[in-house]
A = this chain, B = another copy of it.
Amino acid sequence: MTASRFRALVLGAAAGGGFPQWNCNCANCAAFWAGEEGVEALSQSSIAVTVDGENWALLNASPDLRGQILANPAMHPKHGKRHSPLVSVLLTNGDLDHTAGLLTLREKQSYNLFGTGEILSVLEANPVFEALDPAFVSRIPIVLDKPFDLLPGLTASLFAVPGKVPLFLEGDGPVQTDMQGEFTVGVEMRADGRRIYYIPGCARMTPDLAARIGGADLIFFDGTLFEDDEMIRMGVGQKTGARMGHISMAGPDGSIAAFRDIEIGRKVFLHINNTNPVLRPDAEERRIVENAGWTVARDGMEISL
């Protein structure tokens, strides 16, 4: 196969709250605060993709976005007085961890903002997002499973994956954690004859999903927790991964097992929670995921296809 110009850049590899989390002293965070060697800070969940190297699409706008732009020269303004390589922004759910960064993308800069109708409705319900001047930012609702041009030469489709509504919309009643609809989506991207998936949140593998992603060149997938009860055992939370709408890596229902028989060129875990032991380079869990053919994402990691 000839070389392709399709590239992906990991802006933030961590789950919501980032690594370390501001008020956390779990084993991983304590190691970071203590300055332990090899334990690197990770910012919150976001990637950028490009085909021509000039124009980029941002997939999710994390609260750390301003720092992510500063840290990655490809994201710096290049021409004239006002400029950004970010010409498209796509949201995969309405969680703050994926939307708060929009509040950085102001200053009279034009771009297209894509999301499902449900996801965009979260923005409409919050006057703070009126900071995005409609004269510059076009909000474009995307219908599931209907391809659209995310960038010139890059066709994307959004598809439902099992998940839940954003945390701040959960309410007091029981929460369905593996609903499939417009609130949590995966992204399929095709360019230069290559196919990439970006699925930072997913509650479980389904036969539909397995069939869809088979044969992909690259997948970025939900790597929130290693084990479902990890946050409880570490004493920093009361929720399981399942309750948060995230599949875990380990176990018979985990992602490592679910992907074992699916043919994919390169598999990358991202959206990694601060408690996940794979964040430690010397951890046994890190060896397990790497031996299963996965890469643990880092901020600034770039993958060319």
Contacts and interface: CB of A to CB of B under 8 A. Distances in A.
Contact of A82 (B83, B106, B127, B236): B236
A211 interface: no
Interface in A22-68: 22-26, 29, 33, 41, 63-67
B77 A131 contact: no
B24 A81 contact: yes
A18 interface: yes
A20 B73 CA distance: 13
Given A41-B70, A103-B63, A77 B127 contact: no
A111 B103 CA distance: 24
Nearest to A109: B23
Given A33-B77, A41-B70, A126-B127, A24 B107 contact: yes
Q: How many copies does the complex hold?
A: 2
Nearest to A108: B237
Contacts of A179: none
Given A77-B33, A104-B63, A169-B127, A22 B69 contact: yes
Interface residues of A, number: 50
A63 B131 CA distance: 14
A29 B65 CA distance: 17
A234 interface: yes
A130 B168 contact: yes
Nearest to A132: B168
Contact of A21 (B24, B33, B107, B167): B107
Interface string A83-103: 110000000000010011001
